[in-house]
Structure 1
Amino acid sequence: MAVRHRLIRTSPRSVWAVLADGTRYAEWVVGTASSRPVRGHWPELGSAIGFEVRLGPVSLSNETVVRRCEPGEALELEAKAGPLGTARISIELRPWGDQCLVLVDEHPLRGAGGTLHNVAVEALIQIRHRTMLARLAKICETEAAEAEQRRPLGQVVSPHPDEGGPRA
């Protein structure tokens, strides 16, 4: 079971905004060339995004289905990979001060992927997760910095948006 974590220098709310946009998965999920909504309203339970993986001239399409969603906190997905089977991918967001600790846990669920799973495959998944979390961090941190630059001078933003949000 490949478990990886990364501290992202922005709020869980900012990270969730990226996770909740099914059209953006190709920006940070390693190996994904494109993603698009195919069913439901992402990331609601049972909704799905289609994705494309390109390996040279070969293009493979499949889908990822939401199996559990706790908005702002957790997202569990089942990624389908054709004859290789499916994988369970759990993404958990934990507040860490004013930052976000992201934990990703992935393992084969059904099909040949589970049968062929071994230490070498586990190592490749760890490398993939390291890169994936670095990409996610870059997107989230860049967007947070850009939002900060657009904020009017002197405006204070509450770290607890439910307690009144931005105030001048």
Structure 2
Amino acid sequence: MKALTRHVDVSAQQVFDVLSDGWLYPMWVVGASRMREVDDGWPAVGTRLHHSVGAWPLLLDDTTEVLESHRPRLLKLKARAWPFGEAHVILEIQDDGRGGSVITMQEDAVSGPGTLVPQPLRQLGIVPRNEEALDRLAYLLEGRR
């Protein structure tokens, strides 16, 4: 998995606060078009976001589940978009020592048809999508200051 990083001018806690608001998910996750429900306790391990992916009228309803959560440093997710499959997404947040932080994002397919594509080819599609997701997240974070 290729790790992408993005510096933001907000603290790790502020980053995690936005990640903890599941209703904001479609604002920064490329492909997520709407939220249907956010489990109580999100982002505790086992809680899920109920979202739709795609563009109307071709929407797929699915979920993203928290696999690991360590506030304010780590959020590991299992994102589902069947019939395409499932992916693990890892978001790590580190303070930069100057009041900002660095977000590292990694993603790769873990089940379904996406795993039939060799990883280097999968990453050709995943990396640009996640670069845009990190840009959107940064704009959301820094615009909220």
TM-score over 0.5 for the alignment?
A: yes
Q: Which residue pairs with 2:41 in the alignment?
A: 41
Question: AA paired with 2:29?
Answer: V
> 1:102 aligns to what SS in structure 2?
strand
1:42 Cα deviation (Å)? 0.5
Answer yes or no: is 1:18 the counterpart of 2:1.
Answer: no
Structure 1 vs Structure 2 CA RMSD: 1.4
Q: Normalising to structure 2: TM-score of the pair?
A: 0.92
Q: Can you list the C-alpha shifts for 1:68-121, whole angstroms capped at 9, x where unaligned?
A: 000111000001111222100000000112111000011111121111244343
1:14 Cα deviation (Å)? 1.0
Question: AA paired with 1:70?
Answer: H
After TM superposition, list the pairs within 5 Å mapping 1:124-139 onto structure 2.
Answer: 124-139=125-140
Answer yes or no: is 1:28 the counterpart of 2:32.
Answer: no
Runs of 4 or more consecutive aligned structure 1 residues displaced over 6 Å after TM superposition? none
Which structure is richer in relative contact order (CA contacts within 8 A, separation 6 or more)? Answer: 2
> 1:45 aligns to what SS in structure 2?
coil
Q: Which residue pairs with 1:108 in the alignment?
A: 109
> 2:144 aligns to what SS in structure 1?
helix
**8 Å contact from structure 2 (residues 86, 112) kept in 1:** yes
Identity within the alignment, %: 29
107-116 or 117-126: bigger deviation: 117-126
Separation in structure 1 between the aligned mates of residue 6 and residue 16 of structure 2, nearest angstrom:
14
Count residues in correspondence.
Answer: 144
Separation in structure 2 between the aligned mates of residue 129 and residue 70 of structure 1, nearest angstrom:
21
Q: Normalising to structure 1: TM-score of the pair?
A: 0.80
Q: Can you list the C-alpha shifts for 1:47-71, whole angstroms capped at 9, x where unaligned?
A: 0001111335211110000000001
Q: Which runs of 5+ in 1 are unaligned?
A: 145-168
After TM superposition, list the pairs within 5 Å mapping 1:45-84 onto structure 2.
Answer: 45-84=45-84
**8 Å contact from structure 2 (residues 108, 126) kept in 1:** no
Q: Which runs of 5+ in 2 are unaligned?
A: none
By percentage of residues, which structure has more helix?
A: 1
Question: AA paired with 2:32?
Answer: T
